[in-house]
Amino acid sequence: MTAFLLNYMQWRQYADFLYPIILFSIGLFVMLYNFKSICGYQDTRGEARKRTISWKQILLGTGELILTALLLGIYFDYQGNVYERLQLAEKPVAIAAHRAGTTFTPENTLPALAYAIQAKADYAEIDVQQSRDKKLYVMHDVNFKRTAGVNKNIWDVDSSEIDTYDAGSYFSYAYRNTRLPRLEDIIRKADGNIKLMIELKKNGHEKNLVEDTVALLQKYKFQKQCVIASMDLEILQRVKEIDPSFQTVYIAPVAYGNYYELPYVDIYSIESTFVNKSMLRALHQQNKQVFVWTVNRDKELQRLLLMDIDGIVTDNPELAAFYKTSKGRDVLISDLLAWLYPQKDEAVSY
């Protein structure tokens, strides 16, 4: 299924590349043909004979030429600045699997983490909250209803009960009896395989959430294999106070206000609709990285990967990786060049 989707997206890129060229060529041909007719040139018995040209015909012809030039400008502007695109293509962009990958697996579970590793994502983005007995669980919602079918809040349930919940059947029968993982389970599975983007969720019932999380990560010497994220700036500030070696991520719900110079924030994670070039420039001037969330549509992936971002959070890391490898170039042209000029170890066979 994944291979089919990726092949489909590649053919979509072929179509996107060819469509404006064909449309522009037809329009240009029609305008030039009309211009020739308006300006009084007709082929009779193989000879070009000139008619008398009126001012109206000259104005119409000039207008069509201006329109042609305008279309040319729009077309090349649409194609983008080639040099800039090639520069961006060389820049590495990290891919974070949202909730460890929710398109093909139940979110925030060990099967989701295994998928993120198999998809070669750079990060698995996960959410962490505390149970009533203050155990650290990987879970997005405060209530178990959506993913486990139990209408209870996490702060009202002890770990002994949470460990019996089925967090996979809601997604697919194939994942029945999948358990809600603890953060320690995720760390053990991720160690050496994938980095973690750990979002600490503030629900008003946490106690020592930051301290317990940092202590667990320190136990596994995980400082260089994770970043700690939150929508709450006090949480990030506390992380830096305990251990400055951790990188922190501020998840900005909106992108308004002057918050680019926060000393305890290393990475800004911005909702995709707010991202623009001036914002990226301002944050990079402060030596901050910029991740964008949550991006799943092909057009949005293409648009953002042609901007100066540092990372992208997505439910489908394989699709993002496909567009990441093709950004800054036209897939059709690249495939044709690869076919015409194969490398020594990939000669064309017939």
Q: Could you identify the residue written with the tokens 């000139």?
A: 50
**Contact between 265 and 238 (Cβ < 8 Å):** no
**Domain locations in the chain?**
2-79, 87-337
d(CA 313, CA 275) in angstroms, rounded, equals 13
Position 288 scores a pLDDT of 96
Specify the residue for token string 């405060």.
142
CB 287 within 8 A of CB 281: no
Burial of 248: CB neighbours in 10 Å, binned 0-12, 13-18, 19+: buried
Q: How many angstroms separate the Cα of 137 from the Cα of each of 90, 96, 146, 162, 212?
A: 38, 20, 16, 9, 12
State the angle between helix axes of 2-38 and 317-326 in degrees (0 to 180), rounded to the nearest 10: 40
Amino acid at residue number 197? M
Inter-residue contact 162 to 180 (CB < 8 Å): yes
For residues 308 and 259, give the distance between their C-alpha atoms in angstroms, rounded to a whole number: 19
CA–CA gap between residue 2 and residue 272 (Å, rounded): 24
Nearest Cα neighbor of 121 from 269, 285, 266, 311 is 311
> Using CA atoms, how far apart are residues 329 and 47, in angstroms rounded to an integer?
45
pLDDT tens digits along 218-250:
999 999 999 999 999 999 999 999 999 999 999
HEC sequence for the chain = CHHHHHHHHHHHHHHHHHHHHHHHHHHHHHHHHHHHHHCCEEEECCEEEECCCCHHHHHHHHHHHHHHHHHHHHHHHHHCCHHHHHHHHHCCCEEEEHHHCCCCCCCCCHHHHHHHHHCCCCEEEEEEEECCCCCEEECCCCECHHHHCCCCEHHHCCHHHHCCCCCCCCCCHHHCCCCCCEHHHHHHHHCCCCEEEEEECCCCCCCCHHHHHHHHHHHCCCHHHEEEEECCHHHHHHHHHHCCCCEEEEEECCCCCCCCCCCCCCEEEEEHHHCCHHHHHHHHHCCCEEEEECCCCHHHHHHHHCCCCCEEEECCHHHHHHHHHHCCCCHHHHHHHHHHCCCHHHCCCC
Each residue's pLDDT tens digit, 56-103: 666 776 776 677 666 666 555 555 555 455 555 567 899 999 999 999
Best CA proximity match to 267, nearest among 287, 285, 289: 289
Distance between start and end Cα atoms, the chain: 28
> Count of CB atoms within 10 A of residue 110's CB?
21
| Residue 342 dihedral angles phi and psi, to the nearest 5° | -70, 150
**How many residues in the chain?**
350
Contacts of residue 312, defined as CB under 8 A and 6 or more positions apart, other chains included, come to 93, 94, 95, 96, 291, 292, 293, 295, 301, 304, 305, 320, 324
Confidence of residue 55 (pLDDT cuts 50, 70, 90): confident
The whole-model pTM stands at 0.74
Lowest mean pLDDT among 5-9, 192-196, 205-209: 5-9
Cα–Cα dist 235/241, whole Å: 10
CA Rg value for the chain: 27
Domain spanning 87-337: CATH 3.20.20.190: yes
pLDDT digits (tens, 9 = 90+) for 115-150: 999 999 999 999 999 999 999 999 999 999 999 999
- 264-286 residue pLDDT tens: 999 999 999 999 999 999 999 99
pLDDT digits (tens, 9 = 90+) for 180-193: 999 999 999 999 99
pLDDT value for 349: 39
What is the predicted pLDDT for the residue at 59? 74
